[in-house]
Structures are given as C-alpha cells and as structure tokens.
Structure 1
Amino acid sequence: MINFDYRGLTGEVITKDDFEYEEERKAWNRAIEKYPLVIVYCETEEDIRNAIIFAKNNSLSIRIRSGRHHYEGYSTGNDIVVIDISKMNKIYIDEKNETVKIQGGTRNRELYEATGKMGYPFPGGGCPTVGAVAFTLGGGWGYSARLLGLGCDRLVEAELIDSNGNLIVCNKDVNEDLFWALRGCGGGNFGIVTSMTFNLPPKIEMVTLVNIDFTNIDFEENINLVEAWQEKYKVLDKRANFKMAIYNSSEKGRGVKITGLVYGDKKLANDVLKPIRDIVTTGTYSLEYMTVLEANRIIQDSHPEYEKYKSSGNFVYRDYTREEIIELLNLIEERAEGAVYTAITFYGLGGVIKEVKKDSTAFYHRDANFILGFQSVWEDAKYAPINRSWVVEKLKYIKSITKGSFVNFPCAEIDNYEEEYYGENSRLLKKIKEKYDKDDFFNFEQDIRIEKKLWYNILVE
C-alpha cells in the first residue's frame, strides 16, 4: 500500500482515514459506489492548482465535482483525486451590464435564489443541487429554455484552470474556440471551470406553474396523449415548456405527470393545454400563477434528496407512429425486479433553441423535438445489477427510433459516444482538446478522445 504525502494539498482534505469520508464520497445517484483516494474541497484557485500538482506528482487521475449529479458517476472514481469546488459558490449580479457571474461550484437553487429575488428569470435546471456550471457545459435544458434559450446560450465568458495551473479566460474575443466548446461539450474535458458569466434575461415577475398528474391512465388515452403532445409541440407558444413523464410506479401505478412553466397567466396556460385536457379527465390538474422564484422553488422541492437509478437521454427528431408509441409504452408495462419507479419522459425542445445553428456552439442537437429520457429507480442495492441490465436491454428499441444522445443524461453503454453526444461537432472538439489539453490530463470514461503520440528511442548500431 502506497503512503501519500498530503501536506501539499490545501483547502479541506478528506482521506479514507477520516470519519467524514463515507458520507463525503457519496453521489446523488446512490447506485454509484466509488472510493476515491482523497477528496479536496477547494475554496480558492490556489487550492485547485495544488490539487492538480499533487495528482501529477503522484501519477493519479482526477475527477471534477460540484453537485455530485453525474448520472454515471464520472465526477468520482476509485483511487483518484476528487477536486470538489462546491464551496466556491459566490454569485455577483451586475444590473448595469445585465450580467450574472457565478463561481464554479454554484448550484441551481443558489442561482435561482440570487436572480429570482431581484426579479430575473434564469434558464437553469430543475434539480436544486445540480451544479450550474456542469448544467451549462452540457447545453443546459430547463423549463424556460424555449423562451430564454439553453443555459449555454446565455453564457458570455468562462474562466478555467488548465492542467498546468494556468487561468484561461474565454469569450467570443479571447480563446473563442474553447468558448465554443464549453457551450455544450459537457464537463471535465478541458480544465476546471472556476467561473461563468451569463447575460441576464429581461425581468419577468410572474409565471404559471403547471402540475398535472393523470393517475391510472387508460392505455388508449395514453396513446392519444402522446399523439396530441407531438402535434402540440409543432405550434407550441415559446413561452411554454414541459416535461411529460409516462410512469409506472409501485405507489401510484401507471400514469402521466406533466410539469412545466408558462410565462403568462392561467388563461394562456389553459389555452395551451386544452388539447391535453380534452383527452384525459382523471387525476389532478393544477395551474398556479405565482412569481418565477416561487415556481422554481416548488419544482426544485419536488425532487428527492437522492435516488438509486439507471437512466439515459436520446433525441427525438420525428413524430412516432401509433405502433411505435405502443411499443414505447409497452417498455414500461412491467417494472424491473425491485424497481419502485420507471418512466419514459419527453423533455420539450424547440422555441428559441432551434433558432441557433447547430454549429454555433458545441451543443449539436438543436433541431430535435424532444429529449427522450428513460429511467429505472430502485431502493434495495441488491437490485442494482438487474435494473441496469433491464434499462440497457430496453434502450435497444429506444435507440432504434431516436438519433443521438444527451451528454447531461449520459449512459455508459453508448457506442460511439462522441458522435452520439456531439454529432458532426465532435471532430472540431477533438482539435480543441488537443490544443488545450494535449497531454490528456483531464480524462475520464467518456471524455473527448485524442490520439496519444508515442515516442520511441531508435537505436542505430
């Protein structure tokens, strides 16, 4: 066993010998069981540099962590150095220049609170403890995205520390290629992002929060609902966006839950949702007109403290036939052994998302209609292997009717993941990776792959 000298590390250092280690190693997805060598909670850029130096001096890999929400656990690992920046979470709002600057460890809830209290909406994510930087690096889907754009679309500048400890500033004028890559390429490829600056949207005070739960839905109604949903999104007001989860729950049985925001009053929300209400009359239908901050608080509070799950996200580019919808619904007709919840979820795209060209940022799948999420949730750890296998098997059909995968809903079993996540943009991303991380220091299970050059000493006799 190697004894490491941790004295060069600064910030809060937690090793396997510390009492806190067992709690601090955990991910939000409690199905992730990884045992890092050391966790370094950084509070300054110097702490980050010292962690990088320590890893290099000891030939150790690193992982970057802020919200602990990576679906496959790539923000942690076995016998590696976790550089955790969650304590770097200061937020600076500049109303004169209409910008908000956040440190790299800021999370969704913190950002919503800061902007919302001053009357600004923000196109963040739904889960409160997701790191806002990591959310943005993967594109950044949210309930406000059809009106305000993806999270990455409002980014105007980023700062990161590279493998040599240098601070790199990138925007449309400086290191423009890296700035392009950071808007959709996912986290962990080029460096450790220490800050991001976003354009603030215009102030919007009120919004309608939509919460619909069609419990015990009839199978035929469910088919009709998906058909109507596809048609509705072709003409949907960009002020509205929703997540529609078709679920099979041990608690509630089969149903459909729709959550969303409409930047308008209840009348607008009712008009938008009328085709849906005409199909299904069971369950609960709630529209609440409230401040944007209050709506985001309710959405975020609806998420569990943690889960054990396996999931994925693929892009929907076309309407599904009735036969394909039936096949989709049949995927969740029975849950995997030990599962308490499984769902197929349509995350709405379109609106201003499609108005940006797919090569304008690294986020490639702008022309898609939806992100199709798929997940299985369990509680007892002994059911983890069977649930993982169940999801992977069911994904074979989903893959056949979708195109590309969402890097913020990653799946370890994806073949050709670079092409799946980034499409034609993957070729340029490789060149940018070679430029800014030529030694491939920032590597992990699904990083941007670069060709490693091998040098040989040639002996001439």
Structure 2
Amino acid sequence: MSAQILTLDGERQTLSDETVEEIRAIFRGQVLTSDDLGYDDIRVVQNAMLDRRPGLIIRCTGTADVVDAVSLAYKRDLLVAVRGGGHSIAGTCTADDSLMIDLSMMRGVWVDPDQRRVRVAGGATWGDVDRETQLYGLAVPGGVVSTTGVAGLTLGGGIGWLHRKYGLACDALRAAEVVTASGKIIRCDGTEHEDLFWALRGGSGNFGVVVSFEFEAYPLGPMVWNSMIVHPVDAVTEVLSRWQDWTSTVPDEVTSRALLWSLPDAPTLPPAVHNRDVLITAALYAGTPDEGQRACRALSGFGAPLADMSQARSYRTAQSSLDPFFPKGGLQSYWKSVYLDRLDEDATTFVARISHDRPHPTTMVHLPLLGGAMSRVGTTETAFGDRSARYLLSIDGNWLDPAEDDANIRWVRNAYGEAVRLRAASGTYLNFGGDADLDDADRARAWGRNVERLRRVKRTYDPENRFRLNPNIPPAES
C-alpha cells in the first residue's frame, strides 16, 4: 500500500503504508494506490494511448477533499495531475507517479431557472449539465460529445454546437470557485479577482483546481433541428465548395461542421453508409425545429448524398450522438488543429487529399464553422484570444493498435506541418491538441498577445508553477 510519487524537482518520494493510512483518514473520498482494488479502472482516461500509472489517486467528494489534496501536494512538494472529466486528448489530466486529484465523483448540477443560472461541480460532464438544464428548457454551450468534462472544455474555450448563437462555453461562465496552489479557496467573477476570472476563460488549468462553475443558461429545446447528410468521400471538393458558400449566408442560430470519416457497420446507421469513407455535413439550429428545417434545407441539396439523416431530435440526443464512437479508453488518439480564415482552393485541396490518405478508418478530419456570437468577443476580453477565424481544421488521429502509435502520430504531425503553411492558416485550438508540452511558439499560436498577461496572472496565483500538467504557461519573472 506504499506509494511512490514524484516531487516537482523530479525526485521520487516514498509514502509508507502508515503514511498512506494517515492520508486516508483525512479524506471522505477514496485514496488509492496501485495495489488497491479498482485502481486500474479508475486511472483510465479518454485516450487509450495514455496508459499512465499515478502514484496516488485521491477521489474527491467535495471542496474540502480538494483543499486537503492540494495542501498535501503543497506540503510535500508533489507533482499534481488534476482530472475532471478525464477527456484530455493530450493527457494533461494524468501522469506516471503523480498525485492525481480526481474530481470525477463531484458531478452535481444545480439549476436556477428563474435567474437562468447553472452551478456545476468540477467533475461533471456535459451530459450531466444537459440532463438537468433541459428539464427547464435551458442549455449551456458545451461540446459535441456529452462525456466531455465541463472543466477541461470550459477552461480551454469550448467550441461545440451552440458557439455561433451563444458563444463559447467560457463566454457563458459567470463565476468560479477555485482552490489555488496553496490550498486557498477563491471565488472569482467579473468584479472579484477579475484577473483570475479573465484567465480561466481560455487559459486552461494553469491557475488552480476549479471546484465549481457558474454559467448563464439560454433557452433551447427540448427539440431542435439536427441536419446530418452523408456524402461519398469522392465528392469532397464539390460539396465543401458548396458548403462554404452556404455557411457564408447562415444566421447565428446555425452551427455547422464537416467531418471526413469512415462510418462503421452500425445498426443505427443506414446500410448505404456502412463501412464507407464519407463526408458528413452536419448542422444544429438553436431555435425551433421548424425554423431549423427551413434554415438548413439547402444543406440537403449538395451533390448526391448516400443518406440524409436530418431530423428533429431532442437536444440531449443531438449532444450525445457521437458518444458511441468515442468510448472512454477505447481509441489511441493524437490530434492537432489550426484555424483557417477561409476555405480557399489550397485549403480545400489539402483537406481532400488528407481525407483520402487517413491511415485508419477512425481518424477524422473535422471542420467546424466558427463565427457568430463567439467572434464578437474581443481578443483581449477573455484569455482565449483571437476569434476572427472562419473555420477550424482539426486533424483527429485515432486508431486501435498501440503498435501503430508512431506511424499515426507521424502522419498527424506531417499533415499539421502542411496545414500551418496554408495561406489561410492562423493559430491553434489547444482543446484539440495532442501535445502536452508547449514551447513559446505554441503559446503564441494559442493565445497570441494574451500570453504575457496570462504569465502575470500565473505568477499571482501559482508562482511556483505547481499546476504544470496542462497546456502550461510559466509564471512571469518577478
């Protein structure tokens, strides 16, 4: 039952059996070493490539557990990994021989329908939020897979199905409760600890453990219009050209994306698309289904689709429709992304080429339409940075066999290397990123001119860079 944990300077510290038992007595939640039943199940994260073994896992049940876990790390100078939903593709929520502070048991969601405010515990997923908010016909802008953690998505920005109508997830954030590196509890909002509140909206997990979020919610559902048209992949050039023309005309209520992918032989899918390489053009309308059907009608007229699965469906169903394709711990994954100001001929040709060259059927080339409400927030209003790009190109490498890790990572990196040289390319979205270690060029691509302000905030709240297992921002020098 003893535990081996790394310190911040890379030394290995041994916690004896007696010390582990003393630690267990402090917490209401579970404290697990590698010898304990359930350890291997609990350490699993979204990306199967990350088979990491924390030295000690503390499964927090509330803020007091988080405070004590952070304080333990502070007193013993331990390397800390913080896991909310455990959905990080880059694996920043886990590390070998770390102290993992696991918030996945803290999943409460409390809705105030009169004030349209939603308080969310730090370990909740977007499925938890959608379940409670839809009871009142409300929604908070989330992601596109309901098992994604609220914390990671929000702190990294939060592109999803509602960003054109209501902005990013971080734009809906109105307050947060944070446990800082020294174990202090801070509430921040637009008037209290404003610098920390600014940094949380896009600055990732650099500044502490967020134990609760308070969001503004917006009227939506329970039924929405969800377009889903499947084309043969050979039609990519023609369909993307028409899709780009259409996306330049749609109102903010329409959020759309194109996905180049291979669909499996699944009973929920039409036989015509089974085991096919395809281009999917999808859209969700943030309004009534009838309005959405009219707004998205043109999308069904591009080319000769293999299948049109467009329909009115519940918002919760639309939000969770991709869940089965991304099981927790089911895929080896490595992703890279770049913003595109436009889909010009070079960009379209590049997307068509890599869509044909994908090394595995589960690898996806993903093109969300941006703009709308998210683009009307100024570059320096939140830490997220520049929002002027029209599209995001995400190269989502996924595969099944660990023996193919090197080949697939190399393919994604090569494709990304070409993508950043496109004339339309600018910046990157770190939530769709595969590398945990950033250099100054990476930080500049992600946060632009906000980097120096983020470094100053980091110096205030985490001057020793104790929260470093994230898209890390080193503290500014004093």
**What SS does the corresponding residue of 2:356 show, helix, strand or coil?**
coil
What CA RMSD, in Å, does the superposition of the two structures yield over aligned residues? 2.1
Contact 2:462 2:475 in 1 (8 A): no
Once the two structures are superposed, what CA deviation does each residue of 1:266-325 show, in whole Å capped at 9, x if it has no partner? 66445544554333213111222234334334454564343222112211113322x442
Contact 1:248 1:332 in 2 (8 A): no
Matched, 1:438 2:452: no
Counterpart of 2:121 (choices 103, 107, 110) is 103
Contact 1:162 1:192 in 2 (8 A): yes
Q: Which amino acid aligns with 1:408?
A: N
Matched, 1:217 2:233: yes
The 1:106/1:362 distance shift into structure 2, 3 A limit, reads: same
The 1:157/1:316 distance shift into structure 2, 3 A limit, reads: same
Once the two structures are superposed, what CA deviation does each residue of 1:64-89 show, in whole Å capped at 9, x if it has no partner? 10111111111000110110111111
Contact 2:223 2:289 in 1 (8 A): no
Matched, 1:178 2:196: yes
Contact 1:61 1:80 in 2 (8 A): yes
**Does 125-134 or 103-112 show the bigger shift?**
125-134
Equivalent-residue separation in structure 2 for 1:353 and 1:407 (angstroms): 16
Structure 1 equivalent of residue 445 of structure 2: 420
Q: Which amino acid aligns with 1:296?
A: Q
Matched, 1:8 2:9: no
Structure 2 equivalent of residue 333 of structure 1: 356
Equivalent-residue separation in structure 1 for 2:344 and 2:159 (angstroms): 22
The TM-score, its normalising length taken from structure 2, stands at: 0.88
Shift of 1:180: 0.7
Shift of 1:229: 2.2
Equivalent-residue separation in structure 1 for 2:332 and 2:471 (angstroms): 21
Equivalent-residue separation in structure 2 for 1:145 and 1:446 (angstroms): 22
**What SS does the corresponding residue of 1:160 show, helix, strand or coil?**
strand
Equivalent-residue separation in structure 2 for 1:236 and 1:177 (angstroms): 36
Shift of 1:450: 2.2
Matched, 1:114 2:132: yes
Structure 1 equivalent of residue 271 of structure 2: none
Equivalent-residue separation in structure 1 for 2:471 and 2:218 (angstroms): 33
**What SS does the corresponding residue of 2:319 show, helix, strand or coil?**
helix
The 1:12/1:190 distance shift into structure 2, 3 A limit, reads: same
Once the two structures are superposed, what CA deviation does each residue of 1:113-162 show, in whole Å capped at 9, x if it has no partner? 00012211221112122111221111111111111211111111001001
Equivalent-residue separation in structure 1 for 2:101 and 2:248 (angstroms): 43
Name the % identity: 25
Equivalent-residue separation in structure 2 for 1:60 and 1:180 (angstroms): 27
Matched, 1:347 2:358: no
Structure 2 equivalent of residue 283 of structure 1: 306
Matched, 1:197 2:197: no
Once the two structures are superposed, what CA deviation does each residue of 1:229-282 show, in whole Å capped at 9, x if it has no partner? 222222211111122112256863431013331134566445544554333213
Equivalent-residue separation in structure 2 for 1:449 and 1:409 (angstroms): 21
Counterpart of 2:254 (choices 217, 236, 240) is 240
Equivalent-residue separation in structure 1 for 2:378 and 2:386 (angstroms): 10
Q: Which amino acid aligns with 2:187?
A: V
Q: Which amino acid aligns with 2:318?
A: A
Structure 2 equivalent of residue 263 of structure 1: 286
**What SS does the corresponding residue of 1:432 show, helix, strand or coil?**
helix
Equivalent-residue separation in structure 2 for 1:265 and 1:97 (angstroms): 22
**Does 20-29 or 63-72 show the bigger shift?**
20-29
Contact 2:157 2:169 in 1 (8 A): yes
Equivalent-residue separation in structure 2 for 1:144 and 1:387 (angstroms): 31
Counterpart of 1:366 (choices 365, 383, 387) is 387
**Does 436-445 or 109-118 show the bigger shift?**
436-445
Q: Which amino acid aligns with 2:327?
A: P
Q: Which amino acid aligns with 2:459?
A: E
**Does 8-17 or 48-57 show the bigger shift?**
48-57
Matched, 1:295 2:318: yes
Counterpart of 1:399 (choices 385, 409, 420) is 420
**Does 120-129 or 422-431 show the bigger shift?**
120-129
Contact 1:248 1:335 in 2 (8 A): no
Q: Which amino acid aligns with 1:148?
A: Y
The TM-score, its normalising length taken from structure 1, stands at: 0.91
**How do 1:379-394 residues align onto structure 2 when only pairs under 5 Å count?**
379-394=400-415
Structure 1 equivalent of residue 434 of structure 2: 411
**What SS does the corresponding residue of 2:233 show, helix, strand or coil?**
coil
Counterpart of 2:178 (choices 160, 184, 203) is 160
Contact 2:30 2:59 in 1 (8 A): yes
Q: Which amino acid aligns with 1:231?
A: D
Matched, 1:376 2:397: yes
Q: When the two structures are aligned, how many residues end up with a matched partner?
A: 446
